[in-house]
Amino acid sequence: MIRENLDFVEENIRKACERAGRDRSEVTLIAVSKTKPVSDIREAMAYGIKTFGENKVQEIRDKTEEITEPLNWHMIGHLQANKVKYLPGKVCMIHSVDNVKLADEIEKQFAKHDLVADILIEVNMAHEDTKFGLSPDEALGFVREISDREHIRIRGLMTIAPYTEDPESNRVYFKGLRELMNKINAENIPGVKMDTLSMGMTGDYQVAIEEGATFVRVGTGIFGERDYTKS
């Protein structure tokens, strides 16, 4: 099933790129494997997928212990500062940075390993109370504030759009995130040149690609529904 799902998702990505006049190589599919077993990840690897997303530090630790092949792991979920110490050398990007305390801890832990963390700033575009992330108004100030950290490279912005049956209704948020990135880039903050937009999930990745996504994070559409009753 995973193989067929990946065929379907890949075809949709290709078509969305075509509609938007973008090259397929501009968009990276992150296979969101949270809650899913290593056997599922191996099936996606056999298809050629090398980029996986997880939202829990412990799960990244467990899975990278079992799967030693070189893969690109992305931390896409809410991150507590006390867990950052497990991430240097394990993940290639942290998508969910939204407070100075967390940024300072990333700076500290990656400095210890002499590594630079690629991060995205999480923005709550729809101002949903239930979601993490900065409001769009706070993003510029936050980028300015953490821009001098030597072991952090701010690569771009990430958003989780509202759950909806109608992907078109999220277009405004994806467009808004792209415009926000352009606006912040135009400020010419020393050391800040963002090129990455992580937006779009199973329900809306095609619209996100049309609006400029460079990473789409697809879980259910690849691995099927998640079962949270077991844990």
Ligand X SMILES: *Cc1c(COP(=O)(O)O)cnc(C)c1O
Rounded to 10 deg, the angle between the 100-112 and 136-146 helix axes is 30
Q: How does DSSP classify residue 228?
A: -
Structural Rg of the chain based on CA atoms: 17
Q: Greatest CA separation found in the chain?
A: 48
The residue (of 88 and 203) whose beta carbon lies closer to ligand X is 203
What span, in angstroms and rounded, lies between the C-alpha atoms of 56 and 125?
A: 23
Contact between 36 and ligand X (CB under 6 A)? Answer: no
When binding is defined by CB under 6 A, the residue of 12, 99, 202, 214 that contacts ligand X is 202
Strands 72-75 and 28-32: unpaired
List the structure tokens of 88: 């240097």
Does 34 interact with ligand X (rule: CB under 6 A)?
yes
Structure tokens at 131: 């979601």
Task: Decide whether 149 or 203 has the Cβ nearer to ligand X.
Answer: 203
Least distance from ligand X to the Cβ atom of residue 158, Å: 8
Q: Does 219 bind ligand X (CB under 6 A)?
A: yes
- Tell me which of 57, 76, 121, 125 binds ligand X, using CB under 6 A: 76
HSE of 130 in the Cβ direction (CA atoms, 13 Å)?
A: 4
**Two tokens, residue 185:** 């880039």
Site string for ligand X, 129-168 (x = CB under 6 A): -------------------------------x--------
Interface stretch with ligand X, choices 36-44, 79-87, 170-178, 213-221 (CB under 6 A): 213-221
Which of 77, 136, 156, 212 contacts ligand X by CB under 6 A?
A: 77
Cα 59 to the chain's mean position, in Å?
16
Q: Which is nearer to ligand X, 34 or 108 (CB)?
A: 34
Q: Contact positions toward ligand X, by CB under 6 A?
A: 32, 34, 55, 76-77, 160, 201-203, 217-221
